[in-house]
Amino acid sequence: MHVIVYVGISIDGFIARPGGGVDFLDTDQPPADDMGFAALLERVDVLVMGRNTFDFVIDSGFDWPYGELPVRVATTRALTLAPGLEQTVATISGTPSALIAALEDEGFATAYVDGGALAQAFFAGDLVDELALTIVPVVIGDGLRLIGGTPGDLGFEHRSTATDPNGFVQIWWERRRTPE
Amino acid sequence: MHVIVYVGISIDGFIARPGGGVDFLDTDQPPADDMGFAALLERVDVLVMGRNTFDFVIDSGFDWPYGELPVRVATTRALTLAPGLEQTVATISGTPSALIAALEDEGFATAYVDGGALAQAFFAGDLVDELALTIVPVVIGDGLRLIGGTPGDLGFEHRSTATDPNGFVQIWWERRRTPE
């Protein structure tokens, strides 16, 4: 399983405010394009999200942004799904390793992992293969971190960096797993 | 006083390990050039560093890297200076605002602030005008943060991003202080 984490982050490294708010990601000037989001969705065959992220997306009132992409929500509580989502959305639970095993049993090969707690758990298990950070030009002082501990140093290789006219900087890295 | 912070940082936003070590900034492949360091030193007229940083530079055994640039070490303890440094190095102490006032009294206009605790104090007072982060492609899991709290959101404008062939990504931002 190839695991991709793609997230917006403040200059000081927070993916959300202490209470979970992500308003700081919405700046006066939106990015000129989608910052590679559509391309990301085309590259993955499953999206794994935390329960909080799922609830946030549902509560936002926006149209479901993931089309027909299979979505697995990491939760032990049942979901109430709107008509149309039952075909693509299901729950999943367990440790990150167990999640990966279950996803592989379903035949998935490339996963986009979304949500702070879930991404932290994947980093804690050194299970992230690709990381895309979109750095928003604001310092918020405190909040929730993307990475909350690792088994040791995790070396990455820089793949690409893009700058949007609005000041967003997006950096892609890939985990370097081969011995040096 | 125009204050510039220029620092190396891990992907997960740490400028040093929990004990202060910065070995992770030295990767197998050094950057192809000096990542703008000489240009930085030419732009500033004073370098303000924390005591720990000063001791680290002295203890490293390397040649003094700052030439004739005036250096002010934020410390209340006396320094023992090698011959040749007495002309450019002196101590300074007080709050960040007091430091800035003292530096302005000396006639300085542009300061490079180095050292984790000192930079944190300047961010806590919203006294940083320019920030350059050189992101080293490694996740270290835990350590010392560059920014440990702010008076609120601090908006910045992206100025430039450069990528070194070795994978270092350097981003420059400037504090946006004018009303939107």
**Is B85 a member of any domain?**
yes
What is the sign of the dihedral through the CA atoms of A54, A57, A61 and A64?
A: negative
Q: What is the pLDDT of residues A143-162, one digit of tens each?
A: 999 999 999 999 999 999 99
Range of the domain at B39: 30-107+117-147
Q: How far is A49 from chain B (nearest CA, A)?
A: 21
Does A26 map to a domain? no
The whole-chain average pLDDT of chain A stands at 94
The count of structural domains within chain B is 1
Average pLDDT over residues A67-80: 95
- A19 lies within 8 A of chain B by CB: no
Residues of B in contact with A28 (CB under 8 A): 180
pLDDT at A10: 98
From chain B, the residues in CB contact with A123 under 8 A are: 139
Q: Does A112 touch chain B (CB under 8 A)?
A: no
Model confidence pLDDT, tens digit, residues B8-29: 999 999 999 999 999 999 888 8
Q: What is the pLDDT of residue B179?
A: 61
Whether the predicted model's global pTM rises above the 0.90 cut: yes
CATH number, domain at A87?
Answer: 3.40.430.10
Mutate to test the interface with B, among A9, A10, A12, A24 (most CBs of B within 10 A): A12
Taking the CA atoms of residue A119, residue A120, residue A121 and residue A127 in that order, the dihedral angle to the nearest 10 degrees is: 60
Identify which of A97, A116, A133, A3 has the alpha carbon closest to the alpha carbon of residue A49. A116
Beta bridge partners of residue B89, listed in sequence order: B71
Q: Tell me what pLDDT residue A62 has.
A: 84
Is A27 part of any domain?
Answer: no
A28, part of any domain: no
From first to last of its 180 residues, chain B has per-residue pLDDT tens of 999 999 999 999 999 999 999 999 988 888 988 999 999 999 999 999 999 999 989 998 888 999 999 999 999 999 999 888 999 999 999 999 999 999 999 999 999 999 889 999 999 999 999 999 999 999 999 999 999 999 999 999 999 999 999 999 999 999 999 765
Nearest to residue B52, comparing CAs of B131, B132, B115? B115
Rounded CA-CA distance A124/A135 in Å is: 22
Q: Rounded to an integer, what is the distance from CA A172 to the centroid of its chain?
A: 13
Q: Please answer yes or no on whether A154 and B141 come within 8 Å at the CB atom.
A: yes
CA–CA gap between residue A64 and residue A67 (Å, rounded): 7
**Reduced 3-state DSSP string for B34-68:** CCCHHHHHHHCCEEEEEHHHHHHHHHHCCCCCCCC
Amino acid letter, B55: D
Contacts of B139 in chain A (CB under 8 A): 123, 147, 150, 153-154, 156
Report CB contact under 8 Å: B153, A139: yes
In-domain check, residue B84: yes
For residue A1, name the pLDDT band (cuts at 50, 70, 90).
Answer: very high
For the sheet with B154-163, list strands across it.
A138-139, B154-163, B169-175, B130-136, B2-10, B110-114, B46-50, B71-74, B89-92
Assigned domain for B99 exists: yes
Residue linked to tokens 């709290």? B149
The shortest CB-CB distance from B24 to any of A138, A153, A169 is to A153
Interface contacts A/B by beta carbons within 8 Å? 100
Asked if the Cβ–Cβ distance from A138 to B155 is below 8 Å, we say: yes
Are the C-beta atoms of residues B127 and B3 closer than 8 Å to each other? yes
